[in-house]
Every structure is written in C-alpha cells, then in structure tokens.
Amino acid sequence: MSTVLNAKVPAGALRDKWDNYKADAKLVNPNNKRKFKVIVVGTGLAGASAAATLAELGYQVDAFTFHDSARRAHSIAAQGGINAAKNYQGDGDSINRLFVDTIKGGDFRSRESNVHRLAQVSVDIIDQMVAQGVPFAREYGGMLDNRSFGGAQVSRTFYARGQTGQQLLLGAYQQLSRQIGLGGVRLFNRTELVDIVVIDGRCGGIVVRDLLTGEITSHAAHAVVMATGGYGNVYFLSTNAMNCNVTAAWRAHRRGAMFANPSFTQIHPTCIPQSDESQSKLTLMSESLRNDGRVWVPKNADDSRPAGQIPENERDYYLERLYPSYGNLAARDVSSRAAKRLVDKGHGVGPLKNGVNLDFSAAIARLGRKVVEERYGNLFQMYERIAGEDPYSTPMRIYPATHYTMGGLWVDYELGTTIPGLYAAGEANFSDHGANRLGASALMQGLADGYFVLPYTISNGLAPLLNKPVPSTDHPAFVQAETEARERFGAYLDIKGTRSPDWFHRELGKIIWDYCGMERTQQGLEKALSELPALYAEFKKDLRVTGSGENVNQTLEKAGRVDDFFQLGMLMCRDALDRQESCGAHFRSEYQTDDGEALRDDENFCHVSAYDWTGDPMAAELVKEPLVYETAHLATRSYK
C-alpha cells in the first residue's frame, strides 16, 4: 500500500493561505445547516468551543464527554496563560513573530501553513474570550496585562492568575451550556467513546459506552470531531488528569485514521518531584514561575545542606549559565534535559535527591512578598499543600514530568484525519507544535481549532453532502462495532487473572518512561519493544477486573484504557526508534552536539511520521509527510 498524505494546503503566500481558503470554502445555507448532524467527542477547550460554535451556526450537535460535566475537562488544569500576537505591550510582537517562535520552538517539525494560521487567529481568540467574560489580568487602567513565557522574547501571554485554563474552559463551557439550554446541543455526559464507524470510506458515526449503565449504543452523524486530548498518561505518572486516555484517538486509528509523531511527548520542566512509590500522578507548577524564580543546584554534588545554608558562590544557576539570553526562560525541552543531567550527576536536591531548586528569594527581595503573592499566590499555596514546605522561605523543588503530547491523529489543513468526515482538534491532533510545544500555546491551539478553524472547514466538508441522510445505526458496520465493543469489555471481565489494570498501567509506564522518556537510545528502545509485547500478553492473560459491566465500574473503564495505552506505547517506541535524530522533545542520545544539544537531521527526517494501522502496532505502516519550509528558515535552534 503506498498511501500519499495530502495535507490540502491552500495555494498562495503563507500569509494569504487562510484567507484564500476561507474565500474558496463551500458554505452551507443557514436554513440547510439544521439538516446536518455533527458529533463532537470531548468537551475541553477544543470540543466545547467547536460544539458551541457549530450549534450557534445552526448545525445539530451531539456532544459527548466521559465526565459528569463539560466543565471538568483537563484543559481546566492549564495554569500559566495563552499566547496571542496582540502586541499590546508594544515590544515587537507580530503574527509573524509568533509564527516563527512556534515553528522554532517546535524545532522545525510542524507544518508551516497550520502554524501560521494559528498565529493569525490567536488575535481573535483573546477578543472572543474577553467578550465571553473571561477575567484576564488587567492593568490599573483597565487594559489587558501580559507576561512573558518560555521560548519567547516578548510578553504575549494573557493570563488569569494561575488559573488561565480554568477560566478559558469555563468560558467555552458557558457557551456550550448556553447552547445546551437552547436545545442546539445534546450533551451525553458520563459516556465514553469505544469505537468509530466507517461506512463506504467515510466516518458514519461513533459507538459509545454509558459509564453509568454499561450500555453500548451507536450514534450516526455527517461529521465527527475528536477533541479528546492527549495521551501523556501512557507514562502512568504524568501531569495529566487520572482519566485522560488515548482510547478515542486510538480507536479512530484502528479504523484507519493515521497516527502522527507518537513519540513527540513533552516533558514539562517544572513539576513537583515524586515523593514516594505509591504516587498516582505528578503535579505541574506553572512555567510562569520561571519568570521570577531562579533555577539552581548545589555546585557540589554531595552537598546536602538545606538550600538556605548554601552560599551564593556554591550554587550553580545552570540555566543562566548555559543559556544567557533566555536564562531561566529557555524552552521546555532544553530546561528539562538540563535538569535531568544535573540530577543524574548527583546534584539533585530534596530527600530523594530528585529535584532542582526554583528559588524566589531574589524576586521577593526585588518585588516584595506582596507582589510575588499576587502573581503566584495560588501556585505557592498548591505547592505547600503537596510538598508540605513553604516556598516563600525555602526554594521549591521541581523536576520534569510528562505533560503534553505533540503527537496525535494526523490531520490535514482542514483538521480532517485520513478518514473523510472525521476531524481531530486540540491536543488530540498532531498539528502545530512540531516536536515541542511552547508554553501557553496549548490553550491557544485548542481554542483556535474549535472556534475559528473547524466551523469553516466542517462547512466546507458538509456542503457536498446536502440532503444525504446520516447512515442508519442499524447498518451492519454499527452492529459489528457494537458487538466488538461488548465482547471487548466482556473479555476484560472474563480474564479473572490476578493483577489490577493499575498494576499493568504502572509497569507499562515505567518502561515507557525509562526508554521513551526524556532521553532515548536505540538500545533502550529496542529493549522496550521486546518487553512491551510480553507485558501486553500478560495483561491479556492475567488481568483482574472485579464487579460487573452493568453499572459504574471504574476498574473496567481503566482496563479498556490501559489496553489502548499498551498498543500506543509500542507505536511510540517504534516511532522513537525510527527517528534517528534529536529534535525538540525527542532526544536521542546518539544524536547530540558536543555540548549536549539536540542534533537535528533535516536531510533525512524533515518529515511527519504518520502510521497506518495494519492490525498490529508493532507492524504499523509508516507514511511520511515531507515538511517544506518556504518562509521560516531551517536553522539550529539556540536559546544561548
């Protein structure tokens, strides 16, 4: 099979592409919109904004979430902010600069046209969110305030205390709620996607499982949007919420949607280090802390004195030393690896020597405690709750943790997957961030996709289908998918082995973290690829799920998710092994410069690696989408 990926990038100069696209896109007459049914899976930033906007336009929208309410989606946990090329601070920002920063931050592994569009619509997002009542931080005169963020030399990040994600999600949730109230959207809560259905080469709908009753039902539509988030939980320990999973995207992949760059997973530099074995998740401390905090470790590896007793000249402010122009604001992958190297060399701090210091004493001396409290009060409070230490008096301890996944379902310029009629938005798709995402860009992308991209591209896709009914849910493809899903969940219950899904998840996570985490080697990845199938076989043989499939059973839910994580994990390792270069968050030890920086290979790897399902994740077919840079210049990324 020789598949060629068509990214459907419109013609014209980069800056004109989106305008050209909109000018040429087919529209659906307002009276005809109600004849179309669109399913949106996931109600985070991308899903809620897409569902609300499509319903406002007049489409019949069915929204699905496995949460009890749309407001719980994990977008809510983003802390720091959202980027937009508003240039309100007059410090030299522009759409082009945001575009270049994002391309560069992604280490030249993202598609120029998508990224430029993202930078263009970023401006509209802020307008839209303010109009909806998001209480962004303000100056005394009433204008919007900005802060700077990692990987940028301008202040373009809008924020609402340390709860920007929460406020933006509430904004989108409110718009969605309005549409639910008005009858424009039908919301299916506590309902999880378990399969998608393809009929005659087109996505015909989805199969879902009611988490309260275990009932499996089918839903047909003209178009389906997957806004189902990322798969960082494959590592078991990550900053993702406990219920984040890859199931929706993976089930789409198994039905023919290609999965792109699965190994591109971002490690966030500022998380609270693990405190003991039984820990269930890691907590992120907003990267915005690096605006005022200084990162250091003791110069002497055996120094176990408390931070306050280590004199200035025995501290190594390594980010300031290694990357003078960006200092503590160096890009995420760069700062993460620097921390890992020092901790590996024994310079770590804390009882388990598994963190580095993030010190606010200079900021408190310069700005006063009150200002620091105003900027980061809730983060400091959160840290104190978890670590049991007061960050005003002792430095925070931080360490990198998995946070975001740049990889995801492959999408073209229209955010369409390789299954016609199936779209992917937000973290669930692979676009925009390349091999590394800049801080405060995830919120931007989710909202851009949902509010400003999908409504146009979906209309374009639906227009030719006018007056064609949705497939019947009695169609054999639906019936078969339902039967398979029932059998799959029945099978988990029938194994009756000895290990819980969590046990397998933890073991899986260890393998992926050790060999496909911050630093990867050929040897390690090969080891992972030999261990994973064995563990997966054990999972299928020795899993124990108690309870029944007819009412709430969180163990059963988890089993289904872990199953899909296993398959994804194999694909991740394969992808990481195949990509014989270091780029962005993907760091292969074999490919580094003399001073330990990522060494890209643009000759051989300037492409997106998309994988087509063949029935076995170990044998997925690799399809490459070459990346062409017409405007941004391929250059070595340097934060020095």
Partner 1 sequence: MKQLTDLKLKVWRQAGPEVDGYFESHTVDKVSDEASFLEMLDQLNERLIGEGKEAVVFDHDCREGICGTCSLMINGQAHGPQRATTTCQLHMRTFKSGDEIVIEPWRAAAFPIIKDLMVDRSSFDRIVEAGGFITAPTGGAPDANLILVPKPVADAAMDSAACIGCGACVAACPNGAASLFTGAKISHLNVLPQGQSERYKRAEAMVHAMDDQFGSCTNHGECSAACPKEISLDVIALMNSDFRKSKSKNRKALSRG
Partner 2 sequence: MAQTITRPSGSREPVTGTALSPRKKRSFLADLYSTAVGKKYVMAISGIALMGFVLFHMIGNLKMYFGAYELNHYAEFLKELLYPLAPKGAVLWILRGGLLAMLVLHLHAAWSLTVMNRHARPVKYQSPRDYEVANFASRTMRYSGMIVLSFLIWHLLDLTFGVVNTVGADGTFVREEVYQNVVRSLGRWPIAAFYILANLLLGIHLRHGAWSIFQSLGWNNPRFNAWRWAFATGFAAVVVVGNVSFPIAVLLGIVKV
Instruction: Report what 278 binds from partner 1, partner 2, none; CB cut-off 5-8 Å by kind.
Output: partner 1
| Full DSSP string of 137-198 | -B-TTSPBP-B--TT-SS--EE-STT-HHHHHHHHHHHHHHHHHHHTSEEEE-SEEEEEEEE
Concatenated DSSP letters of 547-603: S-SSS--HHHHHHHHHHHHHHHHHHHHHHHHH--S-BTTB-BTTSB-TTS-B---HH
Binder to partner 2 among 23, 27, 143, 182 (CB under 8 A)? 182
The listed partner (partner 2, partner 1, none) that binds 143, CB under 5 to 8 Å by sort, is partner 1
- What would you measure as the largest C-alpha separation in the chain, in angstroms? 75
Under rule CB under 8 A, residue 173 binds partner 2: no
- Among positions 24, 91, 215, 616, the unique one binding partner 2 when judged by CB under 8 A: 215
Q: Contact between 62 and partner 2 (CB under 8 A)?
A: yes
210 binds partner 2 (CB under 8 A): yes
Q: CA-CA distance, 519 to 254, in Å (whole number)?
A: 28
| Residues 125/452, Cβ–Cβ less than 8 Å | yes
399 sits near partner 2 (criterion: CB under 8 A): no
189 vs 274, beta carbon nearer partner 2: 189
Min dist. Cβ of residue 550 to partner 2 (A): 11
Min dist CB 138 to partner 1, Å, is 4
CA–CA dist 418, 608 (Å, integer)? 14
DSSP bridge pairs for 265: 405
Q: Does 50 bind partner 2 (CB under 8 A)?
A: no
Give min distance, CB of 187 to partner 2, in A.
Answer: 4
C-beta of 302: minimal distance to partner 2 in Å?
Answer: 47
408-409 and 259-260: which strand pairing? antiparallel
- Closer to partner 1 by Cβ: residue 20 or 279: 279
C-alpha dist (Å) from residue 239 to 385, 399, 404: 16, 12, 8
Question: Applying CB under 8 A, what is the total number of residues that bind partner 2?
Answer: 16
Q: Which of 132, 213, 354, 592 binds partner 2 (CB under 8 A)?
A: 213
Cα separations in angstroms, 638 against 322, 331, 361, 440, 499: 11, 9, 29, 20, 47
- Pick one of 90, 92, 183, 615: the residue that binds partner 2 (CB under 8 A): 183
Q: Is 180 in the site for partner 2 (CB under 8 A)?
A: yes
Inter-CA distances, 423 with 125, 226, 244, 324, 455, Å: 20, 6, 19, 42, 11
Pairing of strands 223-226, 265-271: unpaired
Of 111, 209, 251, 332, which is the active-site residue? 332
156 catalytic residue (yes or no): no
CB of 284 to partner 1, least distance (A): 7
Q: Which residue, 92 or 183, has its beta carbon nearer to partner 2?
A: 183
Contacting range for partner 2; rule: CB under 8 A; set: 29-37, 174-182, 465-473, 530-538: 174-182
Among partner 2, partner 1, none, partner that 283 touches (CB below 5 to 8 angstroms by kind): partner 1
Residue 161 CB, shortest distance to partner 1, in Å, is 6
* Whole-number Å distance between alpha carbons of 636 and 615: 38
Q: Which is nearer to partner 1, 176 or 258 (CB)?
A: 176
Nearest Cα to Cα of residue 295 among 233, 346, 339, 252 = 339
Give the position of tokens 């990522």.
Answer: 598
The residues carrying an active-site annotation are: 332
Binding site for partner 2 (CB under 8 A): 62, 178, 180-183, 185-189, 210, 212-213, 215, 217
